[in-house]
Structure 1
Amino acid sequence: MRGKRISRGHQDAQLLAALDEEGCPVCHLIAGSDDHYLFWFFNENYYEPFSLDGLTRSLGFCLAHGARLTRSSVGAYQLAAVHEVLVRRIREMLLHHPAAQRRGEGPRPALATYDVCPACQDRESQAARTAFWLAALLEEPGGADRYARPGILCFPHLRAVLPRVSQVTFERLLAVHESAMACALQSLRELTIELGPIASEGRQDLVKALLPSLRLALGHDKGNGAYPVPHESGVSPRSRDPVGDFLEALGRGEACPVCLPVCERLAVARDRALSLLFGLLEGRQHRATLESGYGLCLKHFSRTLAFHPAPAIRSALVEVEAAKLARLHWELEESLRKVAWNVRPEPKGTEQTAWRRAVLRFSGSLKQRAG
């Protein structure tokens, strides 16, 4: 009991402090979850079986965490070591089942699905624990009286807390949020009346005015910069050539072509792009283009398997992915060999940035299309 009281007291103190701040208390308390996860990942956990197995099941990090990792040079060795294992495991899944491929069954079914990124799982677990403790605090007068003065849950975390509270607290929270939403709606209506054409220098003021409503509805997550700023050009959308753009991207060597059109409607655009890819790969010329280009990131390669494409197309995709992974695996092995203490010093080359290419091969990336 003594340990439980200490733990509860610590949680309550953190939550009460968060309730004294504007915005969502859960968002405030999980704001450092990524930093916490990556600190222990790089310093202790990166080569532990549970980390390697989790990243294998998730096919690496997600798009946002992959973007964060590749923007920094911190942990280059650890990421190279981790992805050497991941690439080796995926290659085994692709290459060690020739009989299944001849029967048209493709690689292991596990590759057609993948789990949530471990860093995202850690964050969601922390959010769930915080919601649990907050629900208990809101049942007590000391916590209930502090709620919404000023700290108030964002809608996603309100949904996590509501199933854990009593009927009385449930109804009280709904009333508080109904009032807060009504005030936010009124503020937005007043803002739309005042708005005219906004010059670029006025956009920051607009964002500042919208921020309280956005935090109430969506939360405080600023994201990790995975999505590029939309490219502003004078080209009308009607004059664009999506098939031509996709073919051009298919032959490029710097990024997965399926990642490029995904910015606005990620899931729909992804599946449409993959359907287009299947149609193009009916032609030998386009298969050759795919072979000479980047191939696919592992997330989108996995999605192609979930679609059960025609055996010839699946075989082409598997062969290309296996070839790209073989090259990447060699680069990762070389980068690790050249920094080993028992190896004679020799010139280092592009293999030293293989860790970054490996992260993006698994996570995908949304590079801004030029022009």
Structure 2
Amino acid sequence: MRTYDFVVLGGGPAGGAAALELASVASGATVALIGSELHLPYERPPLSKAVLQQASLRQGPLSLFGGRQAFEAAGVALHLGVCAEHVDAASRSIALSSGERMGYGKLLFATGASARRLALAGAELDGVRTLRTFADAVAIAGALTGEVPARRVVVIGGGFIGLEVAATASRLGCDVIVAEMGPRLLGRAVPEAVSEAVLRKFEAEGVRVLLRCGVAALRGDEKVRAVELTDGRCLEADAVVVGIGAVPNDMLALKAGLQVEDGIVSDVEGRTSDPNCFAAGDVARRRAGLPWRPEYFCRTEAWEPALQQGRAVGRAMAGQVPPHVDLPWVWSDMFDWNIQVLGHGELADRCVVRVGQDPNAFTVFQMRGDRLVGAVTVNEGRSMALLKRELPSAALVDAERLSDSGIALRAALRPQFDPAGA
């Protein structure tokens, strides 16, 4: 059995970033990266957009970190196309799907998340897809642009992934229906004002959106032909894309005895309940590190936070002081719109909207009392660039000044209250 000083489980952005950071800062240490896909870490954002539209991008994913050469140059041992089937925390060993066993000094769980599946009749029919990996994107692209391209597409779920796929399918000429169970689009991700604007945009682009709409079953012979709704309606479909969220891949950690609560519970530096195990990326339920709410933990499903967490946790595993991890930041492109989400808006109890001359370009500030905890920009990239620098230190601000577009945003973000009195 080969033993490595550091083993990283997961070949996504968090795992790749951590492996390279470990190889860089832990001088002389041995590092192994285990990934279930045959691909090295790759760019995820294009999967729901460019890969579906451009055949040239389906030959292989866009590699992160410089590809295989970067990992080999760093001395990272790559074990791709294999899974960890069992982790024995007592003996610090891993059983792999290849039949091999591997020992570790310290272990990082960067196992990511899996697309949530429909537990309904017909969910296994051909033509029903989820989107999580490059292979998923290629399969959806084949349905949308193949020899007999889908004309009628039903997207189940009105979150970011579902809406990005819906927008791309519409651009490709498909008749698209979005079926969302909740009362609004992006209900768990953005404030109501943004949801309403996105709904208007999709309807203006010709996408039919059904809210408060449950799915009862998927119908077809071997291939999906229709989506049956709980109210009895039936939507004809040549292709169905399911985007109803993701489930953290934390079962391996749970069976290894780690504390798991919808993700692997970890501190701000990725340490878990086992001193030799760490977690980063989509699978980690991490202490957020908020001075005003130190007990708050969150799990973030986004590409940029995964990269940052991977680097930071890699340094912590090596006994180095980890760099500061920025507030969670997520972005999405739909049609010609850009939406960006920053911070912990889930903690807000009210919102303040700032609109300029263009009604389709605005910012929503998410407040908890007088504390600015998050922000969402719609077609306001410059504002988000400033917010990413200023929001972490903005603390307590004047909501009226934030809403006044006549006041420069930088000035409006200046603290107006004494934080000691909060």
TM-score range with shorter-chain normalisation? under 0.3
Compute the TM-score of the two structures, normalised by the length of structure 2: 0.25
Which of the two has greater helix per residue? 1
Higher RCO (CA 8 Å, separation ≥ 6 residues): 1
Which of the two has greater strand per residue? 2
